[in-house]
Structure 1
Amino acid sequence: MKIQKKHLKPFKNLFVIVLIAFAVWMLFFDANSFLIHHELNSEMDDLEEEKEYYQREIEKDKKALEELSTEEGLEKLAREKYYMKRENEEIYIIEYEDSLDND
């Protein structure tokens, strides 16, 4: 009996009860709770990764635009992607078996 009373003695103090209730409220129920902060921090990390990905993509697109702004780059794109050719020129397209789409 003495052991139980010994452990319960701090909880009889009103200050301790209020402090524990306040701590539980702030950790779990408040709008600024620890759980919400953790969720928001993980969301911020995801958004930072997404931002870095899009910045890398923008850099790649800028390089591609710079390449296409030159006459040689435009000709290279036309020849490789659209198989265009100059007059009196023949084009041979060689496709290897492992590069073909086998649907």
Structure 2
Amino acid sequence: MAREQFKTLTEPMYYILLTLIEPQHGYSIMQEVDRRTDGRVKIGAGTLYNLLSRFEEEKIIAQVSEENRRKVYTITDKGLDILKDEYHRLVQLVSDGRHHLERGR
């Protein structure tokens, strides 16, 4: 079910999972996504914690510790597979676009 449900990821989903290659807590995830996208992708607290909950429920991420009441998460092997699949899908989209849009008319 999770594979189908997360077959294509939204930008916030993609960047959250990308950020969680290194263990992070919620606030640092928001900061890191902002930094990696030069402020283009903003993730609000409600969206973030809803997605973290869904990802954890589907075993896409796992809580690895709790520091000062901050839960620290990391991506699981299952989550990494989903992230890599999405990366390859996006690369194919760009390749298709380049092929059709950048050739001379």
With normalisation by structure 1, the TM-score equals 0.28
In proportion to residue count, which structure has more strand? 2
In proportion to residue count, which structure has more helix? 1
Bigger RCO of structures 1 and 2 (CA < 8 A, at least 6 apart): 2
Q: Which of 1 and 2 has greater Rg?
A: 1
